[in-house]
Every structure is written in structure tokens, then in C-alpha cells.
């Protein structure tokens, strides 16, 4: 088991650029580090009046963004100014949970003119960019739209730091939480095994466990402890194999559909708590549940396209422990095929009058999810990783997989370019995180030191 330094991380990064460009962001392979992986060079090719830094971090037990604001505020604010310059924004806003009083106070002293800090309620899913934009600006992004449709760009804290640091993205900040000896936030080389990150948190506290990647609400269950860390892995949550969250995230679709068909009593709780429905969007998960009782193509399924997959309906709202979120996800392709898109006037969208009062406090969510026994902390610690091997996936971002520009047997150094997006396709470059010899496979470049 690797040792974890107990000392808090000192201000880690002060070097970097004062200005950047779209070409430079593309060159560095910067993508949305909050989980979406959208190529930053594409996102910032727009002109808007406000840049919003998303520090809402609403997945239970994760602390990465808050820790970065605590320990790396200087490069963060520099990245913020770079982003504002790129998109011509007059205003920058840092959206952070109100419970982080000390960080808010420190930021308020540090922010330059034109940037302000907005304290957000400690609720889920405050980090959903549609909700965040509404809380910060009062504007509602239209269904299927983007923040730029309401004159804004939203960026994750770590993405902005990556811009300021001005080096190829070879490392990732992430929180290791749940059933581990020492919940921590770490800076790890991209491509190490998630098992290595868990060991750096002191290892699992139970012998039989499952791992959720990215958080517990919008999680992707890890197939194996050998799965590699990518540029979008913001959290690794270890839970006992018997924990209901592990069971639910692994439930097969046929089971979800069979139980849902017989047990849904159309109480509407899923819809009444749905944050996108409350924002005024045409999404009603209880209607998606009706579609289970009809043939494919039922009109009841249409109200699913604008589901953001936050999982609140399934994990919190439904009293019958059904899975309306998965039903929505399953129905989306059919809704798309039938062209069932929003055709109304975006200006007519009005948030629900009860929206503010139906926000789900994080404390209640943690209790409902059965996570109360785990330490809700993740201090950023220094931990030196010296992996002998890494697996750098060719697809760690939205868009097409990158195409290798190195060959098997090539010797590479940390920071070298390994792969680039195919010509004319959305994608991002990937770089080596360690020195070594490359082996190119269908989906990755392996590096062996």
C-alpha cells in the first residue's frame, strides 16, 4: 500500500502563460475536466458576455474542485481571465457552494475587477450547467441548447487551470472516496490504473467492493481495477459490493423494464423533483415510465429527450425504487429518430414556481443514498506516482477517437504527442504521461517505462 502524505498541498502551480489562444488549447489537448470531456478549443470558439466557472461540484463525496480553488487559486484566476479574453466576455463568475465560506472569502479578496463570486445552495445537481446558468444569470438555456445560446460559457475549474498551466494534459486531479482508508484528492498521471489511485488512498476498507467512476449519481461502474484514469475521471468512489448503489448501477435493462412495468403507480414524484422539468423543460419521467406498458414508439416516451441523466428521479424521488432515469435514456434514441424535438419558443420557457423549494439538499441526498457512514472529505495531498506502465486511451473526450501518431516500439517522453483527432472531426489530442516505449492498440497507446 502506498503511503499518503498527510500534509496539505502547498500552492502547487504558479508557472504558466499569461495569454492563450484556441490553437494553443488544441495543441495541449485540453478538454472539459468536469466529466463531459468536450474539447475546450471548440467550446471557446465563441463570443459571449459571461464566463462561468463551475465549482458547484455536486456529486456526493467529491472534493476536487473545492480543493483546487483552495490550493491553486492563482492559476485558476489566470485561466479565468484567459477564457474571458478568448470569448470577449466582460464578466466572469465563480459559482461555488455557499458552505465553503473560507474559500469564498479568500476568492473575494483575490478576484480582479470583472470577476465575482456567487454562492450557490448546497443542493444536487447544482453543477448541472443548465441549473448553474439559471442560478447565476437568471437565464434558461433552451432545451437541447448550449450556454452560448444565452450569452454564456461554462467551464470546469480544472479546465481553466490547465489553460493557465500551459502544458500538455498529462495529469488529472481526482478524489478517491467512500470505503477507503483515507479519502483524498490526488494529482495522478493519466493512464494509471484506478487500482493504483485507490492504493494511494490507503486501499479499500472492505475485501469485496465495487467502484463507481465520476461520482455516485452519474456514475459509470468500473469494469476492473485495471481501468485507466482518463482526462475526465474526477472521482473514484469505492463501495462495498453489497451497497445498493453498486447494485443499482449494475442492474440490467430487462430487470429495470420488467419491474418498472408492474410497479410504477404514476405518482409523478420523479417528474415533480426533476430539475430540468422544474426549469421549465419538456421532460416528464413519469410519462417515460408509461412507455414501458406500450409498444415501442409510444407517445408517452417523447418526454425524455431533454433528460440530463442526473439520476435524481431514480436515486432520490421514486418511492418504489424504480429507475425512470434509465427508462429515459433508453427512450432517447427513439425520440430522436422521430424528430420529437422542442419546437416551442425558447422565450416562453418559465421555471416552475416551486423550483427553488424542491431543490434536494446534499445532506438529504447523502442520507437517502446510504452514504452517511463514509467520510465526506478529500483533502488535496502530495503523492508521488511513479507508474511503470500507463494506458492512454485514444478516446477520453467528446467526439471521435484520436488517431495514433506514434508507432509500436517508438520511445516517447512525458508530454509528447501520442495521437490527434482525425481531420475535420471533433476530438482532442492525447499525450504521454510518462517516459517509455509505446505499444499502439485499437483503443489506446500503452507506455512501458
Instruction: Catalog residues that contact ligand SF4 under the rule CB under 6 A.
Output: 264-270, 274, 276, 283, 285-286, 289, 307-313, 317-318, 320, 322, 324-325, 328
Q: Are strands 91-97 and 115-120 parallel, antiparallel or unpaired?
A: parallel
Beta carbon of residue 261, minimum distance to ligand SF4 (angstroms, whole number): 11
Give the SS3 label for residue 63: coil
List CB contacts of 86: < 8 A, sequence separation 6 or more: 20, 21, 22, 44
Give 76's Cβ-side CA count (13 Å radius): 26
Separation CA 131–CA 149 (nearest Å): 14
Q: Is 382 exposed, middle or buried (0-12, 13-18, 19+ CB in 10 A)?
A: middle
Separation CA 393–CA 398 (nearest Å): 13
Beta carbon of residue 67, minimum distance to ligand SF4 (angstroms, whole number): 27
73 vs 330, beta carbon nearer ligand SF4: 330
174 vs 279, beta carbon nearer ligand SF4: 279
Cis preceding-peptide flag for 125 (omega within 30 of 0):
yes
Beta carbon of residue 266, minimum distance to ligand SF4 (angstroms, whole number): 5
29 vs 275, beta carbon nearer ligand SF4: 275
312 vs 393, beta carbon nearer ligand SF4: 312
Separation CA 258–CA 200 (nearest Å): 41
Q: What does the DSSP assignment read for 191-221?
A: T-BHHHHHHHTT-BSSSSEEEEES-SSS-EE
Beta carbon of residue 48, minimum distance to ligand SF4 (angstroms, whole number): 25
Beta carbon of residue 285, minimum distance to ligand SF4 (angstroms, whole number): 4
161 vs 264, beta carbon nearer ligand SF4: 264
Comparing C-alpha atoms, which of 385, 403, 287 is closest to residue 340? 287
Q: Is 321 exposed, middle or buried (0-12, 13-18, 19+ CB in 10 A)?
A: exposed
361 vs 422, beta carbon nearer ligand SF4: 361
The percent helix, strand, coil of the chain (3-state, each to 5) is: 30, 20, 50
Distances (CA, A) of 315 to 98, 248, 312: 24, 9, 5
List CB contacts of 235: < 8 A, sequence separation 6 or more: 59, 61, 62, 64, 174, 175, 176, 177, 213, 214, 215
128 vs 166, beta carbon nearer ligand SF4: 128
Q: What does the DSSP assignment read for 97-143?
A: ETT-HHHHHHHHHHPPTTEEEEEE-SEETTTSHHHHHHHHHS--PPT
Separation CA 306–CA 246 (nearest Å): 26
325 vs 429, beta carbon nearer ligand SF4: 325
Beta carbon of residue 318, minimum distance to ligand SF4 (angstroms, whole number): 3
Please give the DSSP secondary-structure letter assigned to residue 180. B
User: Sign of torsion, CA 208 175 37 447?
Assistant: negative
230 vs 314, beta carbon nearer ligand SF4: 314
267 vs 417, beta carbon nearer ligand SF4: 267
220 vs 268, beta carbon nearer ligand SF4: 268
Beta carbon of residue 245, minimum distance to ligand SF4 (angstroms, whole number): 15
Beta carbon of residue 127, minimum distance to ligand SF4 (angstroms, whole number): 13
Beta carbon of residue 355, minimum distance to ligand SF4 (angstroms, whole number): 13
Beta carbon of residue 340, minimum distance to ligand SF4 (angstroms, whole number): 15
Beta carbon of residue 268, minimum distance to ligand SF4 (angstroms, whole number): 5
Give 147's Cβ-side CA count (13 Å radius): 28
Amino acid at each position: 500500500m502506498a503511503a499518503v502524505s498527510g500534509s496539505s498541498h502547498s500552492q502547487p502551480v504558479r508557472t504558466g502563460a499569461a495569454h492563450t489562444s484556441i490553437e494553443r488549447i488544441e495543441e495541449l489537448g485540453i478538454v472539459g475536466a468536469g466529466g463531459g470531456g468536450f474539447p475546450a478549443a471548440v467550446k471557446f470558439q465563441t463570443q459571449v458576455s459571461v464566463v462561468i466557472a463551475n465549482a458547484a461540484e455536486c456529486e456526493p463525496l467529491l472534493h476536487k474542485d473545492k480543493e483546487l480553488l483552495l490550493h491553486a487559486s492563482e492559476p485558476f484566476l489566470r485561466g479565468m481571465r484567459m477564457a474571458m479574453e478568448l470569448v470577449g466576455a466582460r464578466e466572469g463568475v465563480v459559482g461555488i457552494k455557499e458552505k465553503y465560506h473560507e474559500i469564498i472569502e479568500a476568492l473575494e479578496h483575490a478576484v480582479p475587477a470583472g470577476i465575482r463570486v456567487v454562492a450557490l445552495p448546497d443542493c444536487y445537481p447544482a453543477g448541472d450547467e443548465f441549473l448553474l446558468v439559471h442560478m447565476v444569470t437568471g437565464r434558461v438555456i433552451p432545451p437541447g441548447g448550449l450556454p452560448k445560446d444565452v450569452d454564456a460559457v461554462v467551464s470546469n475549474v480544472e479546465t481553466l487551470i490547465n489553460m493557465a498551466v500551459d502544458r500538455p494534459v498529462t495529469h488529472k486531479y481526482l478524489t478517491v472516496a467512500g470505503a477507503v482508508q483515507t479519502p483524498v484528492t490526488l494529482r495522478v498521471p493519466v493512464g494509471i490504473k484506478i487500482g493504483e489511485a485507490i492504493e494511494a488512498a490507503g486501499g479499500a476498507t472492505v475485501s469485496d467492493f465495487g467502484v463507481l467512476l465520476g461520482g455516485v449519481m452519474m456514475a459509470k461502474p468500473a469494469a476492473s481495477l485495471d481501468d485507466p484514469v482518463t482526462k475526465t475521471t474526477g472521482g473514484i468512489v469505492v463501495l462495498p459490493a453489497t451497497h445498493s448503489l453498486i447494485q443499482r448501477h449494475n442492474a440490467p435493462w430487462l430487470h429495470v423494464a420488467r419491474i418498472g412495468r408492474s410497479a410504477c403507480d404514476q405518482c409523478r414524484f420523479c417528474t415533480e423533483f426533476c430539475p430540468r422539468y422544474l426549469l421549465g423543460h419538456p421532460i416528464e419521467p413519469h410519462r417515460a415510465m408509461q412507455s414501458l406498458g406500450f409498444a415501442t414508439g409510444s407517445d408517452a416516451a417523447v418526454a425524455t429527450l431533454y433528460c440530463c441523466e442526473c439520476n435524481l428521479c431514480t436515486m432520490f424521488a421514486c418511492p418504489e425504487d424504480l429507475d425512470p432515469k434509465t427508462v429515459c435514456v433508453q427512450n432517447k434514441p427513439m425520440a430522436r429518430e422521430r424528430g420529437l424535438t422542442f419546437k416551442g419558443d425558447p422565450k416562453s420557457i418559465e421555471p416552475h414556481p416551486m423550483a427553488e423549494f424542491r431543490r434536494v439538499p446534499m445532506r438529504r441526498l447523502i442520507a437517502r443514498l446510504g452514504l452517511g457512514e463514509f467520510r465526506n472529505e478529500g483533502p488535496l495531498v502530495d503523492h508521488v506516482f511513479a507508474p511503470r506502465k500507463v494506458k492512454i486511451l485514444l478516446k477520453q473526450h467528446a467526439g471521435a477517437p484520436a488517431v495514433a501518431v506514434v508507432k509500436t516500439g517508438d520511445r516517447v517522453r512525458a508530454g509528447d504527442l501520442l495521437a490527434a483527432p482525425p481531420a475535420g472531426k471533433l476530438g482532442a489530442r492525447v499525450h504521454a504521461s510518462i517516459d517509455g516505449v509505446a505499444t499502439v492498440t485499437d483503443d489506446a497507446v500503452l507506455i512501458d517505462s
